[in-house]
Amino acid sequence: MGKRQLLFVTYRDENLEEGVSYAIELAKAMYEDITLLLVKKPTNLMDKLGDLMTAVSFAEADEHETAREIMAGDSPEKQVAYDAKLAELMVRCKQEGISVNVQRTDLDAVTGIRSFLKNNAGIDKVVLSPVMTESGNVTSKDLNRLVRTASRPIVTMTRQACAVAV
């Protein structure tokens, strides 16, 4: 029988390192491997409108390729950098003796987690990265709904305030 899995959930276009150290230490302590679930970050209307206006400005300046990249989302350079960070994370976990499985979904956080848990019985607990709960990305209502329906422990993380030494 294989190791149990810790499901670490973060947005696929956000800072990947945030919360990973805690997830790695938790996985080592619990003798578990990590499944990294990259979910789609919710976008609001103002973000979409801002992207549209930026793309229009580039198109008017005959920068059509840049306008297409803005409308498509991430630039190829940004995706390459993100993939490099993901590969670095996988090497780091391997050095710690932890196997990492990466899954991507186009679903929002709550729906993606519930769907993943329904199809994967080996998940022991769910760890949400700090970017998931900041700025109301996952509301307390969504979190409560997830806790009631997930039937697994849900661990949330927050960022610690940094004190400036004087």
- Look-up: residue for tokens 């607990």? 125
- CB contact burial 94-110 (16+ within 10 A = b; e otherwise): eeeebebeeeebeeebb
Name the one residue in this structure whose structure tokens are 């789609």. 40
Structure tokens at 149: 């329906």
To which residue do tokens 């899995």 refer?
5
Own/partner long-range contacts of 68-75 (Cβ < 8 Å, ≥24 apart): 73/13, 74/13
Per-residue pLDDT of the chain (166 residues; tens, 9 = 90+): 357 888 998 887 767 777 788 888 888 888 889 988 888 776 666 777 777 888 888 888 898 887 777 777 655 666 677 778 888 888 888 888 888 888 888 888 888 888 888 888 888 888 888 887 776 677 778 888 888 877 888 888 776 644 455 4
Cut 0.85: pTM above it: no
